Each structure stands twice: as C-alpha cells, then as structure tokens.
Structure 1
Amino acid sequence: MTAVRKKKKTVKSLAYGRPPTVQRPKSISRKATKALINEHHLLEKRRAQAAAKGDITAVAAADAEIAALGGLETYQQASLQGQRNDRGGDSSRVLMDWLKPVLSTLGSSAAAVTAAAEAAKATESLRMLEVGALSTNNECSRSNLFDVSRIDLNSQSQGILQQDFMKRPLPVDDTERFDIISLSLVLNFVPDAEGRGQMLFRTLEFLKLPVKDTSSRLRELLPSLFMVLPAPCVTNSRYMDEANLEAIMNALGYTKVRSKTTHKLVYYLWTRESPTPEHIPIFKKAEVRSGRSRNNFSIVLRGASG
C-alpha cells in the first residue's frame, strides 16, 4: 500500500499561500503544470465552499483528493515552475517596462533606470510593497529604484516577511505607506468574491495619497497598484469583464494607466487619483457573460459611506 503523504496545514486566507523559492523543482511540461494547478484550484474552491457550509464530510473528501495529487508541496512546485523565465517568468519586468519611459528622457533603458535611481536617492526612496513575493531578486528589486517590503503567507526565503496582507498593521503615517503596491497573481488566490473586494479596498490604506504638484517625472504614475491576474479571470468569467473591473477600480479612486493582455495573464497599472472616496457604490456578483465554459471569478464591493 502506498503511504499517504502527511498533509500540511492550510492557510485559511488568500487560498493557501504562494510557492516557496528555496528549491528548483524538476521540470514538468506546460500542459502538466497547467492541469495540476487547475485541479488544485478546483479542489481548494470545493473545500472552501464545504467549510463555509460546515460540511465536514465534504471537507475531508476534498482534503483526500488534494493529498492524492501530492498535497500542497506538489502544487507549490507546479506554481514555481510557471515562474521560470522560459514559462513567462518575472511579472515585474512588465511593470519596469511601463515605468522606464517616465524615468528619464535620455539614454538607453538601463541608463534611464540608473538615472532615476540616483534621482530617487537624492530626494527620497520610493517605497514598494510586494504582496505574495516569490523572490528578492526580481527586476524591481535589481533596479535599485525601490525600497521594497516583501510579504508572503508561506515565506521560505530571507528578505520575505511571512505575513497576511489582510492582517498587516495599518500605517500610522506616510513613513509607513507606499508609492506602489504589487498584487501579482494574488487577488485570484483570495477564496471568495467579497474577500477580493476587501483586499482592493484595503490597498488604499497602504498607498500614499496622490501629489499633484511635483517636478519629478518619476511621480507621474505614482502612487499606483500593479495587478496581475490569470487572463481568464477577465476574459472568460461569467461575472467579470474589463468594463466591470474598471468600474470597480474607478469607484475606489483608481484610474487605469497601463494594461497588457497575453494568452495567460492580464497586467494592469492603476494610479491612485484621489483620497479614499467618501461614498463607494455596491458592486454585486452579477452575470456579464453566459455559457457553460465560463469560470466564476468575481469581485464584490459592499459599498461604503463617509
């Protein structure tokens, strides 16, 4: 009889965390990687739904299926495999490509980044919060442009604080706020639609307020939220499309200034244009596309009044 691998503790928020970076897994094919990740996501969703209903039997059944797939370790290896450079790699490269044109008006891209970094040091460090950080050596970190704070639910690397963004202490002043927050493949790990809305609303607590009167071109796209999602969350969801996502972000005071869509991912840069709105409308889970092949990704905002 094959021994059942001992299950690891699951994380109740943000859908069980992110993959570690201390080991490089054995290479598996793109098709196998995608199938394994999708199966884990389905099982984790089924488990979360059963737990919400208090169905202990269904929770145990989902746990058994997850264990049969190899448990969290196998899932983490598949997720990390997708981060390799030959599989799409570092999403922060897209962010830096967007920032480079406003970093300097002269020189090559590398020179522009260097000049901007020197200018930032001469004035003040630009602070970046990377939620769900996988590495301390991505392009944003190597640019020397940012003072980066990195957090992850399952950190296994020095330089990444093990912390839940939803439980991170709120800033007391601007010295604890950030110029940019990165949510790269994080929002889709939140297990429910309302939790995703709460996460987006909470980003406003951690971002600095916009500064209109500034001579620094570096500030033209800041403060901002960098967001990366699996493309089907927007392109093939029953409850979410581009217009719906933009309406939600606009209601929070964000404006879309950059976007990019590939076969697998959608990238956005949302600039904060105003203080936290006094009145935020309610966004419910409502069908925007029909069809059996659609996924159920959605974001719900409960609304707020000041």
Structure 2
Amino acid sequence: MAANKKKKPRLKLSTGRPPVTSKPKSISRQATRALINKIHQLEKRKQQAARNGDGAAEAKISAEISSLGGLEKYQQASLQGQRNDRGGDSSKVLMDWLKAIETEQQKTTTSTRQWSSLRMLEVGALSTTNACSRSGMFTIERIDLNSQGEGILQQDFMERPLPKDDAERFDIISMSLVLNFVPDPEGRGDMLLRTLEFLRCPVGLNSETSEADLSFPFPSLFLVLPAPCVTNSRYLDEEKLGAILASLGYTIVKSRTTHKLVYYLLKRAKVQPPLLGSKASFTKRELRSGPNRNNFAIVLKSSSSKG
C-alpha cells in the first residue's frame, strides 16, 4: 500500500542527544573518537529517514547503531572524553575566563556588582562535580534529556516552563556540546532564541556595548561546539555565527578555538534583540564548497518573517 504524504513531524531535541549512563568503562582515545563520530553520523541519517517517512531505512540504521553498542555505548564514549587525561570538562575554560575577568574588574573598576549568589542553568549536564560546581560561584540548576544522576533534572530545555519573573531567570546558561545535537538547523536557531527567555535582562547598558560593560559578563551564555561545526561547515563560519549571535543581542566577551572545540562566552548586551521585529533572517546558504565539508547549519528567522 502506498504511503500517504504526511506533514513532516517536528523533531524533538530528545531525538538528537543520546541518553546518559554512568560509570563508563575505559575506552582508548582513538576508539572514543571513532565511535562518537560513527554513531553521530548514523543518528543524523536516521533522523533524515524519519523526516522522509522511510521506515525501512530508519529500521536498518537503528539495527546498525545497535550493532555498535547503541546509544548507551555512545554515551560511555562521551563521558570518557571528559576525563582529565582527555581534556577534562569544558567548564574549566569558563571558570578560567571568569576568574580572570573578575580579577581585572577588581583592579580597574569601582563596580559594586557582586560576583556571588549567581544563578546558572546548565543544559545537558553530565556531572555535578565539574569546575563550575566546585567553584562556589553559582547556585546551579542542571538539566539533561535522559538524566540518570542525582542533582540533574530530566528535562528538555525546549519544553522547560518559561520563568514567571526575574527570580526564576538566570545569570548564565551553560550549553556545552548541546546545540550540535539538535536534529535540524531551525531547531538550533529556536534554541538560541529561547535562551533569552531564561536570562535576566541586562541593566544600565547603552544601546552599544562598551568595554566597561564587559567587565561584568552577566547575563551570559557559555556555548561550546565541536570545532568543525564552525571551521569546516558548508553553511556556517565564525563570521556568520557572530552575526547570528549579534542579532540576538549577544556580544562575544571571550572565545577560544582548539582542534576539537570552539568556546564562547556571550554577554546578553541588549534588552531588545535587534532581530526581533526586523526582516532579517539567517538561512541555510552555502558559504564554503568542497566534498569534505560538513552540513552543520543554524537557521534563524525574525518574528516578522515566521509563519
């Protein structure tokens, strides 16, 4: 019987990120990288098959993923990569940045803004003992799609209830290796836009952010992506990512690129994002050609151009 054409289902964030497991067995560095890359590629193909309504292809890819140990094995590899001898957790970079900024602020300004009792929302949390947790700087709420650990709420960020008031908002949101697991480019744009709902509004800023404003880097977003998402994508480079972030009212305070990862500390510098109410949009347009490029993209549309 021929399949009827159906409206493409909206893919949930939970279809992209694998579940959390605990106490992974040791995996070699090479095997860790190979397994993560292989299953990640299979998951993307599986999502594409689901979007196309190709149940046979989806089942075949699922069987291939299972033959590799499934998503549980994937998560073991991901957690293994957070060991100190594999580079450690990405929040160490954030804490190094914040400590340096705080020290410089104390030396050069008379600001009375307090670096205590700061609220953090950690999206995609895997641990309650990372550098941010040990710093004593934050009161942290941790969420993950498939949490199996105490202190981490099982919750989809895209379905988290919106804050009722400023007391329920946060000074900083951490999204380390989260955006790249969102199944589609539009969903990634929606996720970045949604971060504004959970951050406190910047106070006392002019229309243009000055260097003095950046001495207090909150409210902010800590964003970490695999480096190839920015350095080797057909559809996204650093300039375009910067433009997308600026359209949301974010200013880059700190950034760092390594062979594997890109890190950004982004201050919410404007109360009203420039994108909202405008006709600006960011589509999936090729910026770099070549057979070895990946297809990572972020699509973001203004409120006036949606629908």
Residue segments in structure 1 that go unaligned for 5+ positions in a row: 1-10, 108-118
| SS of residue paired to 1:104 | helix
Deviating above 4 A after TM superposition, structure 1's stretches of 4 or more consecutive aligned residues are: 216-219
The alignment status of 1:173 with 2:169, answered yes or no, reads no
Deviations 1:210-242 (A, max 9, x none): 1227xx999711111000000000000011100
CA–CA distance in structure 2, aligned partners of residues 211 and 303 of structure 1: 24
Partner of 1:248: 244
Residue segments in structure 2 that go unaligned for 5+ positions in a row: 1-10, 107-113, 206-211
Partner of 1:220: 216
CA drift of 1:152 comes to: 0.2
Q: 12-21 vs 284-293, which deviates more? A: 12-21
Partner of 2:266: 270
CA–CA distance in structure 1, aligned partners of residues 41 and 69 of structure 2: 15
| SS of residue paired to 2:64 | helix
* 216, 232, 244: which one aligns with 1:236: 232
Deviations 1:113-172 (A, max 9, x none): xxxxxx545xxx211000000111111111111010000001111100000000000011
The alignment status of 1:158 with 2:150, answered yes or no, reads yes
Q: Would the alpha carbon gap of residues 217 and 102 (structure 1) be closer, same or farther in structure 2, given more than 3 Å must change?
A: farther
CA–CA distance in structure 1, aligned partners of residues 304 and 70 of structure 2: 43
CA–CA distance in structure 1, aligned partners of residues 291 and 272 of structure 2: 38
Partner of 2:110: none
The alignment status of 1:260 with 2:256, answered yes or no, reads yes
| SS of residue paired to 2:65 | helix
Q: Would the alpha carbon gap of residues 72 and 18 (structure 1) be closer, same or farther in structure 2, given more than 3 Å must change?
A: closer
Partner of 1:32: 31
CA–CA distance in structure 2, aligned partners of residues 218 and 144 of structure 1: 22
CA drift of 1:72 comes to: 1.2
Percent identical pairs in the alignment equals 65
Question: What TM-score comes out, normalization by structure 1 length?
Answer: 0.86
Partner of 2:85: 86
Question: What TM-score comes out, normalization by structure 2 length?
Answer: 0.86
Contact kept in structure 2, 1:258 and 1:270, CA below 8 Å: yes
Contact kept in structure 1, 2:214 and 2:253, CA below 8 Å: no
Alignment of structure 1 residues 46-61 onto 2, 5 Å = 46-61=45-60
Partner of 1:186: 178
Contact kept in structure 1, 2:18 and 2:75, CA below 8 Å: yes
| SS of residue paired to 1:134 | coil
Deviations 1:63-120 (A, max 9, x none): 111111111111111111111111111100100111112323599xxxxxxxxxxx54
